[in-house]
Amino acid sequence: MSKKGVVLLNIEKSFGGNKVLKNLSLEVKSGEFLVLLGPSGCGKTTTLRCIAGLEKVDKGKIFIGDRDVTELPPSKRNISMVFQNYAVFPHMKVYNNIAFGLKMRKFPRQEIDKKIKEVSKLLKIDNLLDRFPSQLSGGQKQRVAVARALAVDPDVLLMDEPLSNLDALLRAEMRTELKKLHRDLGTTTVYVTHDQIEALSLGDRIAVMFDGEIVQISNPKEIYEFPSTIKVGEFIGIPSMNFLKARYENGEIFIGNQKFELSDKIRNEIERKKLKEFIIGIRAENIEIYANKCRGSLCSKILLKEELGYTQLLTLKIEDFTIKAFSKAEIGLGIDNYVYIKFREDKIRFFDCNTRKLIF
Amino acid sequence: MKIFKKFAQIITFTIISLWVLLPVFLITVSTFSSKQEVYKWPKNLLPKDFSLESIKFFFSSYGTISSFKNSLIVAFITLILVLFISIPSAYAFSRYYFKGRESLKIFILMTRMLPIPLLAVPLTSFYITLSLYDNLLGVALIHTAMALPFSIIILSGIFIRISKEYEEAAIVFGASKLKAFLKILLPLSLPGIAAMLIFTFITSWNEVFAASILTVENRTLSAHILNLLDASPLYFKYAGGFFLSVPAIIFIFFIRNYLMKMWGGF
Amino acid sequence: MKLNEKYFPYVLLLPLLLYILLFFFNPFFNALKLAFFDENNKFTLIYFRELLRDPRFFSAIKYTLMFAVTIVPLQLITAFLIALFINRNFKGSKTLLFICSIPLAISDLAAGLIFLSIFTEHGFLNSFFYFLGLIKKPVYFLSYENIPLLFTSILIAEHWRATAIVLIILIAGLQMIEKDYIDAANVFGANFFKRIFYIIIPLLKPSIQSALIIRTLFAFQMFAVVIALAGDMIPVLSGETYFWYYIYRNSHIASCYAVVIIILSLLLTAIYLKFLTYKEPVYENI
Ligand SMILES: Nc1ncnc2c1ncn2[C@@H]1O[C@H](COP(=O)(O)OP(=O)(O)O)[C@@H](O)[C@H]1O
Ligand SMILES: [Mg+2]
């Protein structure tokens, strides 16, 4: 199984006057499953199409392995792709769809046959080879598209929101399967999605993209716990990370008028970095909720209670800020009552007010 | 109330169908009548005898058979020319954005609005210098000009409806642009292309003005019949009308499901 | 490489552009030349003066215009009514649509001959009237002694032949109107006629406009129907062009007629465009 990395160096791409990719650089390690995650319209598809060679870049270089492919047509790049709408050729049977890439590469007939048996087994579509795409369900078409992409032993596999057209149940099932496939085959994969759950569960690493730029690239846990900017923290995780403005005065931290007690270690860090005003980020599951006031707790009002079955999601108002928190146990207090909350200290993140970037 | 509605529907259906079909039926009856029957007065409303006399006369008149053949040849050349010009043009219109695309599209539609007399009369002298006058190729050339605007617009519409993703998939999997076109777009748009070609055939088959002006000896069927209108008996005219219509009606049957799609763009 | 890509669509269009040059521009300018320049390539109006001296010229203009202003509205109305009917999507509406589109395949010459079998004195209409007891002797529908009757016969034949295209354009337009609008109108209590006048016709305007322009332009080129049914008894512009070239071999006068046709066509299109603002159909982006 071939494995090659991909490197994008200072890529720029415009459509008309609209600059879609702005000096984008990205390294995909060989054998890695990299997820390109970002809101719709941020340029993910364009990035993928540049790697595939379907779009010519205006500036920058693209390497696959150690080959400079910037000027090569798609057919010379040995990549393959799973399209958002599958693009399974409607006039060819499943067999011929999967065989297409191999035929273009002029493989001998027996080898094509062997290869098709192999991948169709792998994707559990070996009983569908004789059908036309119109006789397949969405999930089956999806499998054909993946099989077709894998059959050619690509150096890099590109997938553009491959699960977005499936219903929720199938999507979860296919997600697991794709993960397993990658574990077994180890094909270098670039996977585009706007769905963070997909990204978190599939990616070895995630590249978060906003507005034609990659703002953070790291493993899922790191991205979740240490979002590099406030925007990333807002975009990733359900619910979004909570953000509260805080200030450091006379050796104490305040949120609004409430004093916020933190350990010396953090206070020293703030002191050392000479922070005056900053933004605190904390995730909903890292907030502890108490019915009574206790040491170091902040007072907040319940605005909304949502029952999620395994837990409750509370919307709370603390000073001028609205935050969301999970309450593990039923607290027995209703809307408009006051609760006391504490943040898990090791999970608190500090962001710069102006640059909105992570400080520590 | 419901029954009344249903009844009204059936009546309307019948009236409209009769209005369209009756003339076709009547020319068929006339064509299969004997010479005397054609001139008889009053006629039997339902035909009594069935005779091939008119048809025999029609086909045995000087020039009919060869004009029939000429019409087919002209239509065939037209199809080939239209195919080779409209496919690349429609591909360009549907797959590329380029400067002047929309204006060119509108311009092409406008060319179709040029009156045929305006094209045909001046072409005669042009054709004489090229020795295309009284030449089937010459007729096919102007029929192509007449058919091109619609066939390009129709074909662009067909291509646009086929997702670009298919060709891109082919290209990603190692096909060249030409191969992607031949293996993906062409087979996928084949029914549409066939419909377009049939429409082109009908256009050429039916055209009479240019064909009459640009030929003397090598007449198409339409031109042949028009030329003989003054001098021919009724039964010749009826058979002429019938045989002009039949191939076109048969062909339009095959593209009945495409008519909407072809004209949807207007 | 990049340059190539940029010019590739133009390369694809090259045959078409060449064709336009040879078979549209070339004859177009040649027609102007034939109409306005004499053998020595000098500008002249003698051909037009000759044209104006020809009494048939004014009749041709008169009848051509008369055909255009009678046939086109008639066709629009019938096609609109049939389109509304077919658009009800009852069982058999597809069949009816196909039946109605049959004349689309029939040429003007053939349509003329088909209706000749109906209108001639030995034709079916006379026999039919006889059997109804309305007449004792055949009526001469196609005679110069009764031009209005002759005109009407041609009108009927042309209406029969060319309504199909209007119908198809209108139905295509109707199908693009979202049913939601009509449902909404229904919910708000619009009756049948209100729905037609306040919802359907305004939304159908682009289609009506296309049909109107296409049909009017082709009405100016009416030719073989007229000749098949009336010979030269009713002069029309295209017919005169044909006669001048075909019989008198005078390509100058014939070109003058052709130029008059295009001038009238442009004039009428301009009027339509002025009074009915026309939006180009938006083609899907690629
Ligand atoms: N072929 C194109 N022509 C013009 N603009 C385009 C084209 N493709 C993409 N864009 C624009 O580029 C931006 C990014 O698009 P895309 O890469 O498809 O985003 P994503 O896949 O992240 O949703 C969008 O604003 C889109 O409108
Ligand atoms: Mg996308």
pLDDT in tens, B26-76: 999 999 988 888 888 787 767 777 889 899 999 999 999 999 999 999 999
Query: Does some domain include residue A357?
Result: no
Average pLDDT over every residue of A30-35: 95
Confidence (pLDDT) at C283 = 45
Query: From ligand 1's centre to the CA of A20, what distance in Å?
Result: 7
Same domain for A276 and A166 = no
Residue nearest to atom 21 of ligand 1 (CA): A45
**Nearest by CB to A90, which of B172, B176, B188?**
B188
Considering every ligand atom shown, identify the ligand nearest to the alpha carbon of residue A209 and give its number.
1
pLDDT at position A2: 61
Q: Domain containing C123: what range?
A: 69-275
In this prediction, residues B238-261 reach a mean pLDDT of: 88
Measured in Å, residue A187 CA sits from the centre of ligand 2 at: 22
Residue C240 has pLDDT above 90, yes or no: yes
- A135 in any annotated domain: yes
Same domain, residue pair A214 and A247: no
Q: What is the maximum alpha-carbon separation in chain A?
A: 79
Of all protein residues, whose CA lies closest to atom 11 belonging to ligand 1? A20
> Is B200 inside any structural domain?
yes
Q: Which residues contact C234 (CB under 8 A, 6 or more apart)?
A: C59, C63, C147, C150, C151, C154, C226
Q: How many CA atoms lie within 13 A of B96 on its CB side?
A: 21
Least confident of B228-242, C90-104, C189-203, C264-278: C264-278
For B78, the domain range is: 63-262
Q: For chain B, give percent helix, strand, coil, nearest 5.
A: 80, 0, 20
- Whichever domain contains B90, its CATH number is 1.10.3720.10
Q: Say which residue, C253 or C39, is predicted with more confidence.
A: C253
Nearest-CA residue of chain C relative to B102?
Answer: C283
Whether residue A91 lies inside any domain: the answer is yes
**How far apart (Å, rounded) are the C-alpha atoms in residues B176 and B28?**
53
Q: Do B188 and A80 touch (CB under 8 A)?
A: no
Residue C1 has what pLDDT?
A: 44
Residues A219 and A151 in one domain: yes
Q: How far apart are the CA of A45 and the centre of ligand 2, in A?
A: 4
Paired residues of A313 in beta bridges: A306, A326
Question: Which range of residues forms the domain containing residue A14?
Answer: 6-235
DSSP letter, residue A229: B
- Residue of B173, B179, B186 best to disrupt the A interface, most CBs of A under 10 A: B173
Lowest mean pLDDT among A110-119, B209-218, C269-278: C269-278
Same domain, A166 and A230: yes
Report the chain A residue with the minimal C-alpha distance to residue C1: A71
**Are A229 and A263 contained in the same domain?**
no
Instruction: Give me C58's structure tokens.
Output: 């004014």
Chain A neighbours (≥3 Cβ pairs under 8 A) are: B, C
Q: Which ligand is nearest to the CA of A208?
A: 1
Residue whose CA is closest, atom 10 of ligand 1? Answer: A15
Q: Per the CB < 8 Å rule, is A75 touching B176? A: yes
Mean pLDDT, to the nearest integer, of C207-211?
Answer: 85
∠ Cα A118 A122 A128 (to 5°): 85
* Mean pLDDT within A106-119: 94
Cβ atoms < 10 Å from Cβ of C132: 8
Would you state the structure tokens that stand for residue A173, as one six-digit string?
């099932």
pLDDT at B194 over 50: yes
Burial of A272 (0-12, 13-18, 19+ CB in 10 A): exposed
Kindly list the protein residues whose Cβ atom lies closer than 6 A to any atom of ligand 1.
A 15, 18, 20, 38, 40-46
CATH number for A347: 2.40.50.140
| Residue C234 located in a structural domain | yes
- Answer yes or no: are the C-beta atoms of A242 and A215 closer than 8 Å: no
Domain end among A235, A270, A287: A235
Tell me how far CA of residue A50 lies from CA of A57, A63, A77, in angstroms.
Answer: 6, 11, 11
Considering the entire predicted model, what is its pTM? 0.86
Is residue C28 domain-resident? no
Q: Which residues, including other chains, have CB under 8 Å from residue C121's CB and lie 6 or more apart?
A: B41, C138, C139, C140, C141, C142
Query: Of A187, A209, A235, which one is at a domain's C-terminal end?
Result: A235
The token pair at A33 is 């499953």
Confidence tier at B264 by pLDDT (50, 70, 90): low
What is the model's pLDDT at position C286? 39
Q: How many domains does chain C have?
A: 1
| CB C170 within 8 Å of CB C80 | yes
Residue C129 lies in a domain: yes
Nearest CA-CA partner of C258 in C206, C213, C218, C221:
C221
Task: Tell whether A72 and A168 lie within a shared domain.
Answer: yes
> ∠ at Cα C130 (C125, C134), nearest 5°?
100
Confidence (pLDDT) at A333: 81
How many folded domains does chain B comprise? Answer: 1
pLDDT of A189 over the 70 cut: yes
Mean predicted confidence (pLDDT) in A86-95: 94
**A301 and A176, same structural domain?**
no
Taking a contact as any Cβ pair under 8 Å apart, which residues of chain A between 26 and 65 contact chain C? 56
Same domain, A128 and A219: yes
pLDDT for the residue C277: 56
CA-CA distance, A253 to A262, in Å (whole number)?
Answer: 8
Q: Is residue B35 part of a domain?
A: no
Can you tell me whether residue A57 is helix, strand or coil?
A: coil
User: Pick from A235, A266, A293: which residue ends a domain?
Assistant: A235
Q: A3: CA distance to ligand 1 center in Å?
A: 29
Q: A281 and A214: one domain?
A: no
Q: Is the dihedral of CA C164, C167, C173, C179 positive or negative?
A: negative
Determine the average pLDDT of the residues in B126-154. Answer: 93
Q: What are the distances in angstroms from CA A226 to CA A214, A255, A264, B171? A: 16, 21, 21, 40
Q: How confident is the model at residue C276 (pLDDT cuts 50, 70, 90)?
A: low
> What is the Rg, in whole angstroms, of the alpha carbon atoms belonging to chain B?
23
Question: Are A42 and A147 found together in one domain?
Answer: yes
Q: Where are the beta strands (DSSP E) in C85-238?
A: none
- Which tens digit of pLDDT belongs to each residue from A13-24? 999 889 999 999
Residue B263: per-residue pLDDT: 62
Q: Is the pLDDT of residue B204 over 70?
A: yes
**Residue A360 falls inside a structural domain:** no
Would you call A71 an interface residue with chain C, using a CB distance cutoff of 8 Å? yes
Closest CA to B207 of C110, C81, A23: C110
Do A220 and A329 share a domain, yes or no?
A: no
Average pLDDT, chain C: 87
Query: Is residue C284 over pLDDT 60?
Result: no
Q: Please give the pLDDT value at position C19.
A: 94
Which amino acid does the sequence have at A353? C
Query: Which is nearest to C235 in space by CA: C147, C149, C159, C166?
Result: C147
Nearest to B244 by CA among C225, C79, C214: C225
Minimal-distance CA residue of chain A relative to C2: A56
Q: In the complex, which subunits touch B with 3 or more CB pairs below 8 angstroms?
A: A, C
Q: Range with the lowest mean pLDDT among A166-175, A285-294, C178-187?
A: C178-187
Q: What is the mean pLDDT of residues A246-265?
A: 88
Q: Which of B94, B83, B120, B96 is nearest to B198 (CA)?
A: B83
ipTM (interface predicted TM) = 0.91
- Residue B204 resides in a domain: yes
Beta strand residue intervals within chain A, DSSP E: 6-15, 18-28, 33-37, 59-64, 67-68, 79-82, 156-160, 188-193, 205-210, 213-218, 242-249, 252-255, 258-260, 277-282, 287-290, 298-307, 312-318, 321-327, 338-343, 349-352
Q: Ligand 1 centroid vs C120 CA: distance in angstroms?
A: 66
| CA–CA dist A134, B66 (Å, integer) | 47
In percent, the amount of chain A with pLDDT more than 70 equals 99
Size of interface A-C (CB pairs under 8 A): 3
* Residue among A75, A87, A105 minimizing CB distance to B169: A87
Mean pLDDT of chain A: 92
Residues A181 and A102 both lie in one domain: yes
Pick the residue of C26, C78, C87, C113 with the most B CBs within 10 A to test the interface with B by mutation. C113
User: How many domains are contained in chain A?
Assistant: 2
Is residue A76 within 8 Å of A62, Cβ to Cβ? no
The answer to whether A301 contacts chain C (CB < 8 Å) is no
Decide if A166 contacts A174 (C-beta within 8 A): yes
- Residue B111 makes CB contacts below 8 A (sequence gap 6+) with B145, B148, B149, C20, C24
Asked if B210 and B142 touch (Cβ cutoff 8 Å), the reply is yes
